[in-house]
Structure 1
Amino acid sequence: MGKPRERTGEVALVTGASSGFGLLICIELAAQGYRVAAGMRRPEASGALLDAARKAGLTSRIHIIKLDVCEPEQIKNAIAEMDHLWGRLDLLVNNAGEALGGMVEEVPLEAWRNQMEVNFFGAVSVTQIALPLMRRSSKSRIIFMSSISGIVGFPGYGPYASSKFALEGMAESLSFELQPLGIDVVLIEPGAYGTPIWGKGFNDIQAKEESPYRKTLTEVLNFSKTTADQSGDPQEVAALVGEIARSASPRFRYRLPLGTRLTVAAKVLLPFRWFQSIVLKMLSKR
């Protein structure tokens, strides 16, 4: 590929930057030369990111910014701050998200709303407010962090899958709308990687004795834990974001690792009832 040119002077905003993919993406983009606005709901949780930036000699390129994607006024203030500091926004990485687990019947409706508020409406809100600033750049780009759960609705992942399916549809429509304006839209659909999002959303779930879903939910939780323990290196996802950022003509969808691509291919190629049977058998073997 050769040595990529540095993005000196270009500006990126990464939401959900305090940990996981967001933290690694900030470091990756800063290393490319971006001035990175690291958006996080609690700026006091920026220690891990700042430590990583210091170790990499990138502190001057990281700017912590208070940004809760569920608070439109905070988003407006964040974009206004970026406009004041740099007058531009070249790359938006909509990464902020939460993962809620549980069976469709048993997850409280308010929890469903919260899941959609963060993972879907939060991304929509940030995008809407950021776009006027992004249009000032000659060639800007929006990356949405989706998931294999935006393609396959696994049991026990109903709320999370619903939010990611919605994100996929919105991003596809947005891609058609922005292409004539010179703005690329990209979806990244990772499989299982060892980031804090899964511990936050699944650790407190317990199958109730009287639940008709007890067996399936137990299998799902065991599978999720095993998958998380055997997951790939999240740096692979950050590196992919870096590749997309410097690509002259990125694809619309990227899936990783290989297991994710194989799972999606199976869903597309097989009759759904066959695919459904394979998934349930796979869960029961864990």
Structure 2
Amino acid sequence: MIAQNKVWFITGVSSGLGRHLAEEVAKSGNIVIGTVRKQEQLAGINDLLKGKTFGYLLDVNDHQQVNETIHAVVNEFGQIDVLVNNAGYGLMGAIEETSMEEARAQMETNFFGALAVTQAVLPVMRKQGSGHIVQISSQAGISANHGLGIYNASKFALEGFSEALYKEVLPLGIKVTLVEPGPFRTEWAGASMKFAEKTIEAYADTAGRLKQYIQSISGNQPGDPIAGAHSIMKIVAAENPPLRLALGKLAVETLRKKADWIKQEVADWEKVSADADYKN
């Protein structure tokens, strides 16, 4: 059963998973506030489902604008029941290839942007005594890969603060879920992807090869964004939603492999680890 008559606030709805989620949520009988960064994108959201979808201009990197937008939405609609922090982008390049400017820009949007929106919405949900914060993370927020190190770092950071937030707000009636998609058929690997300006030949067989692979499957990824949207809606409707939701079969496999790796290493090196304590 999908919950109806709720107000969803979804960042980054101009395309991809955010756009599909906005449409499916509205079709199910909910109000959707969708944010975009360009004036010309507003009409596309307002017209998505008349009377149910409402576009707002928002750059999540402008934290004053974030607070003003949340205030305006609450004044207009009275509540925010579900926040989906979806705005973000991918950055490819080996660690050594990535400039500090490129790395900071990635962290600013994927981490600080999500943090700013979350902090702005929390007082609203605390006052309501209810709410659900959905962070669109990635399987890359659990398992790192060559060529995506700074993107990994931004999603690992999102995972870290959101896991703590889960424990902080659960007694207040607020739920938190990290959604961790695998490869989905969106523009993540296409038009929205950014690449480190610098390239170093030594990383051609690691970061370079991954770049080629991701570009080669763009448009043919196994993940269906409409089906993914329905999965997100199901966990929001659940009485006891998970902290983490792997999205897609490849994401499930990735998370299982990471869990097995950690478990095995802890077992293999347990004695060395234990030797670090005082001998009482």
TM-score computed with the length of structure 1 as normaliser: 0.85
Does the C-alpha gap of structure 1 residues 246 and 271 become closer, same or farther in structure 2, counting only changes over 3 Å? closer
Kept in 2: contact 1:99–1:200 (CA 8 A): no
Report how far residue 255 of structure 1 moved: 0.5
Query: Residue 219 of structure 1 corresponds to which residue in structure 2?
Result: 209
Counterpart pick for 1:68 among 49, 59, 78: 59
Query: Residue 127 of structure 1 corresponds to which residue in structure 2?
Result: 118
Query: Residue 103 of structure 1 corresponds to which residue in structure 2?
Result: 94
Query: Residue 137 of structure 2 corresponds to which residue in structure 1?
Result: 146
Kept in 1: contact 2:162–2:178 (CA 8 A): yes
Q: Aligned to 1:143, what secondary structure does the other structure show?
A: strand
Kept in 1: contact 2:15–2:187 (CA 8 A): yes
Query: Residue 157 of structure 2 corresponds to which residue in structure 1?
Result: 166
Report how far residue 273 of structure 1 moved: 10
Does the C-alpha gap of structure 1 residues 84 and 49 become closer, same or farther in structure 2, counting only changes over 3 Å? closer
Kept in 2: contact 1:24–1:238 (CA 8 A): yes
Q: Aligned to 2:155, what secondary structure does the other structure show?
A: helix
Greater CA deviation, 133-142 or 98-107? 133-142
Report how far residue 240 of structure 1 moved: 1.3
Report how far residue 138 of structure 1 moved: 3.9
Report how far residue 264 of structure 1 moved: 1.9
Report how far residue 251 of structure 1 moved: 1.1
Greater CA deviation, 128-137 or 113-122? 128-137
1:41 equivalent in alignment to 2:37: yes
Report how far residue 238 of structure 1 moved: 1.0
Counterpart pick for 1:230 among 220, 226, 232: 220
Q: What is the identity, as a one-letter code, of the residue corresponding to 1:37?
A: I
Q: Aligned to 1:60, what secondary structure does the other structure show?
A: coil
Deviations 1:190-215 (A, max 9, x none): 0001211222454756884x621123
Q: In 2, Cα distance between the equivalents of 1:235 and 1:120? A: 25
Query: Residue 23 of structure 2 corresponds to which residue in structure 1?
Result: 27
Q: In 2, Cα distance between the equivalents of 1:198 and 1:253? A: 23
Q: What is the identity, as a one-letter code, of the residue corresponding to 1:226?
A: S
Does the C-alpha gap of structure 1 residues 20 and 176 become closer, same or farther in structure 2, counting only changes over 3 Å? same
**Unpaired segments of 5 or more residues in structure 2?**
266-280
Kept in 1: contact 2:42–2:56 (CA 8 A): no
Q: Aligned to 2:128, what secondary structure does the other structure show?
A: coil
Counterpart pick for 1:190 among 158, 181, 188: 181
Q: In 1, Cα distance between the equivalents of 2:83 and 2:207? A: 36
Does the C-alpha gap of structure 1 residues 188 and 180 become closer, same or farther in structure 2, counting only changes over 3 Å? same
Report how far residue 153 of structure 1 moved: 0.8
**Unpaired segments of 5 or more residues in structure 1?**
275-286
Q: Which runs of 4+ in 1 moved over 6 A?
A: 271-274
Report how far residue 4 of structure 1 moved: 3.7
Q: In 2, Cα distance between the equivalents of 1:272 and 1:104? A: 27
Greater CA deviation, 263-272 or 104-113? 263-272
Q: In 1, Cα distance between the equivalents of 2:119 and 2:56? A: 18
Q: What is the identity, as a one-letter code, of the residue corresponding to 1:221?
A: K
Q: In 1, Cα distance between the equivalents of 2:41 and 2:137? A: 24
Q: In 2, Cα distance between the equivalents of 1:272 and 1:223? A: 29
Percent of aligned pairs with the same amino acid: 34
1:13 equivalent in alignment to 2:9: yes
In angstroms, what is the RMSD of aligned CA positions?
2.2
Report how far residue 270 of structure 1 moved: 3.6
Does the C-alpha gap of structure 1 residues 219 and 113 become closer, same or farther in structure 2, counting only changes over 3 Å? same
Does the C-alpha gap of structure 1 residues 216 and 273 become closer, same or farther in structure 2, counting only changes over 3 Å? farther
Q: Aligned to 1:46, what secondary structure does the other structure show?
A: helix
1:114 equivalent in alignment to 2:110: no
Q: Aligned to 1:104, what secondary structure does the other structure show?
A: coil
TM-score computed with the length of structure 2 as normaliser: 0.87
